[in-house]
Amino acid sequence: MSESTASAASIARYRPETRLVHSGTLRSQFGETSEALFLTQGFVYDTAEQCEARFKGEDPGFLYSRFSNPNVSMFERRMIELEGAEAARATATGMAAVTTAVLAPLKAGDHVVAAKAMFGSCRYVVEDLLPRYGIQSTLVDGLDLEQWRKAMRPNTKTCFLESPTNPTLDVLDISAIAEIAHQGGARLIVDNVFATPIWQSPLTLGADVVVYSATKHIDGQGRCLGGIILSSEAFIAEHIHTFLRQTGPSMSPFNAWVLLKGLETLAIRVRAQTETAAAVADALAQHPKISRLIYPGRADHPQAALVKKQMRAGSTLVGFEVKGGKAAAFRCLNALKLARISNNLGDAKSLVTHPSTTTHQRLTPEARAELGISEGFIRFSAGLEHPDDLIEDLHEALAKA
């Protein structure tokens, strides 16, 4: 098996779209155009000596698919070269990536500071899981830099945030928070799912680690789960490599193959979905049945200046609050014909979510209110349908809300 010519070290001179198609390709002796699928748990060795050398790390081949696999390696390499990271490890799901990146480097007695506006399962990891193992956590209003500063303690090892946030699309100042973290001797981990690697590069903004749920835009066609952690060689070697190998939340070779093919179309999909989300946001902004609309690409977004500074474009998601609370939101969701009710996002099919009864139902009503997740709030994930069809669908559904 050989690395394709385009995936050699010189790849850095190519633009992201080109890297998404070529980076990391490993060709077998058959010279296939599309990456082959290596659906194998393990590998055989020519000799016992070679097997011994591989286990000792002296021979660079593959050992066992819990450790590494050609498809998983190709996916990791393509992501590394897109993100501008030194190293990466793929995981079975986005939550496996988040849990590993947050938990693996820590020990009892350490402290974590995180923004309270985040995906419900990520908040569970920080708020409920870590303290059970003696790792204290402080949740802050991620928009308030003073709160980040005040929350730092001598034993703070990790700061964690997502931006834009799920589901209210707040945009947090990654550079400023990275500076606060570094001044306190901590690392910053950024969940970049909502921004996508196309619109935001947290490592260049000062973050130390980036995590993705590849289940979202990277697959982008609703087929499989996956996750990835990207950072420096040193972070992966010291904290992630052995943890993943020994605890086993590995990405399946089949999923890696699907995600690798997903990456080839990521840029064009995200661009089209972002244009559609912007069109939907503009069409609904003044709707009489909507009390609040939030879209990071609009001039009326509360952090519009920061969006311009740290993102290359808005988002594929729009949030809006239907007047009349849960009953009105449910009438709207149930009346939609094209956009389907689902808790996923970033898919080719437009999807709508009611966060207060799904992704954030675990939080108390007070905690949801604090985050702006009202009973009437709907998260819209733009797909690849024609924007006018989606806008007509939303107008018809809102008429029934």
Nearest distance, CB of residue 94 and ligand PLP, angstroms: 2
d(C-alpha 7, C-alpha 21), whole Å: 10
Residues 27 to 46 in contact with ligand PLP, rule: CB under 6 A: none
Nearest distance, CB of residue 104 and ligand PLP, angstroms: 16
Q: Which residues pair with 380 in a beta bridge?
A: 318, 352
Tokens 């939101």 correspond to: 329
Q: Which of 70, 94, 142, 202 binds ligand PLP (CB under 6 A)?
A: 94
Q: What is the DSSP string of 243-286?
A: HHHHH--PPPHHHHHHHHHHHHTHHHHHHHHHHHHHHHHHHHTT
Q: Which of 65, 73, 213, 303 binds ligand PLP (CB under 6 A)?
A: 213
Q: What is the DSSP string of 165-200?
A: PTTT-----HHHHHHHHHHTT-EEEEE-TTTHHHH-
Cβ(38)–Cβ(253) below 8 Å = yes
Which of the ranges 23-31, 93-101, 132-140, 265-273 carries the binding residues for ligand PLP, by CB under 6 A? 93-101
d(C-alpha 88, C-alpha 318), whole Å: 30
Which residue's CB is nearer to ligand PLP, number 314 or number 387? 314
Nearest distance, CB of residue 193 and ligand PLP, angstroms: 4
d(C-alpha 106, C-alpha 239), whole Å: 9
Provide the 3-class DSSP secondary structure of residue 316: coil
Nearest distance, CB of residue 216 and ligand PLP, angstroms: 7
Kindly state whether residue 193 participates in binding ligand PLP, applying the rule CB under 6 A. Answer: yes
Kindly state whether residue 163 participates in binding ligand PLP, applying the rule CB under 6 A. Answer: no
Pairing of strands 87-91, 227-231: antiparallel
Provide the 3-class DSSP secondary structure of residue 210: strand
Q: What are phi and psi of 377, to 5 degrees?
A: -80, 130
Nearest distance, CB of residue 344 and ligand PLP, angstroms: 7
Q: Which residues pair with 90 in a beta bridge?
A: 228
Kindly state whether residue 93 participates in binding ligand PLP, applying the rule CB under 6 A. Answer: yes
Kindly state whether residue 122 participates in binding ligand PLP, applying the rule CB under 6 A. Answer: yes
Tokens 């590394």 correspond to: 80
Return the DSSP state at 8.
Answer: S
Kindly state the helix (H) or strand (E) to which residue 72 belongs, with its residue range.
helix 70-83
Which of the ranges 94-102, 236-244, 253-261, 287-295 carries the binding residues for ligand PLP, by CB under 6 A? 94-102
Kindly state whether residue 191 participates in binding ligand PLP, applying the rule CB under 6 A. Answer: yes
Q: Which of 38, 75, 119, 235 binds ligand PLP (CB under 6 A)?
A: 119
d(C-alpha 92, C-alpha 190), whole Å: 18
Cβ(336)–Cβ(320) below 8 Å = no
Kindly state whether residue 215 participates in binding ligand PLP, applying the rule CB under 6 A. Answer: yes
Q: Going by C-beta distance under 8 Å and a sequence separation of 6 or more, which residues neighbour residue 56?
A: none
Q: Which of 72, 180, 225, 351 binds ligand PLP (CB under 6 A)?
A: 225
Site for ligand PLP (CB under 6 A): how many residues?
Answer: 16
Which residue's CB is nearer to ligand PLP, number 98 or number 322? 98
Which residue's CB is nearer to ligand PLP, number 54 or number 380? 380
Q: Which of 220, 227, 249, 296 binds ligand PLP (CB under 6 A)?
A: 227
Q: Which of 74, 87, 95, 378 binds ligand PLP (CB under 6 A)?
A: 95
Q: Which of 162, 173, 347, 393 binds ligand PLP (CB under 6 A)?
A: 162
Which residue's CB is nearer to ligand PLP, number 162 or number 208? 162
Contact positions toward ligand PLP, by CB under 6 A?
A: 93-95, 98, 119, 121-122, 162, 166, 191, 193-194, 213, 215, 225, 227
